[in-house]
Structure 1
């Protein structure tokens, strides 16, 4: 069975494949991503947690892996994630409950 860390590495490898196949597109996406997560009035951790909530509501497990990891690297803690998941569930209903549980499981596995 793959661990959360293994799944994250697999997702990152897939991103790398696309980056090599379409470097111009990926360069643009990287600029957007850096601008979106840069510190401003909100911290990078807060912005990554918003990305987690969006990933939960969209049902994108790879996105959840990537953004939970990034949020943790910026200092987000489990209590922060749970607050964001509460909002994601409010807005996303039952499917968000399922993906929210995955996000919590991922954070605990990546510690």
Structure 2
């Protein structure tokens, strides 16, 4: 867990540095992110799991770290993650299998 937490903190530090370098852009991105992650028809946790699935299909490990952490904070369970990983793998093929395995490993190490 310590290694995963450190990787998450590293990703957050990198994002923070870029946000400081481009505050106007990140102000807009923060507003988009807030709206996208807010509960509506889907809960905030469900939306974070959707973000994990997209991150797996796109192959973004830092995104996986960030959104698995957020999903856990919203009460997501491992079984729910596995279901969204099944969809991500269907849509993303072989590379998504590899990133799906990373997502599961991340969730287990953050719990």
TM-score, normalization: structure 2? Answer: 0.98
Q: Which residue of 2 aligns with 1:68?
A: 68
**TM-fit CA distance, 1:5:** 0.4
Q: Which residue of 2 aligns with 1:53?
A: 53
CA RMSD of aligned residues (A): 0.7
SS at match of 1:76: coil
Distance 1:40 1:57 in 2: 24
TM-score, normalization: structure 1? Answer: 0.98
**Which structure 1 segments of 5+ residues have no match?**
none
SS at match of 2:40: coil
SS at match of 1:108: helix
Distance 1:24 1:60 in 2: 24
Q: Which residue of 1 aligns with 2:12?
A: 12
Distance 2:84 2:70 in 1: 15
**TM-fit CA distance, 1:71:** 0.3
Instruction: Provide, for residues 28-75 of structure 1, a one-character-per-residue CA deviation record: whole Å limited to 9, x for no partner.
Output: 000000000111010000000000000000000000000000000000
**Which structure 2 segments of 5+ residues have no match?**
none
**Would you identify which runs of 4 or more consecutive aligned residues in structure 1 move more than 4 Å?**
none
Q: Which moved more, 1:62-71 or 1:2-11?
A: 2-11
| 1:1-111 alignment runs, 5 A limit | 3-111=3-111
Distance 1:76 1:49 in 2: 8
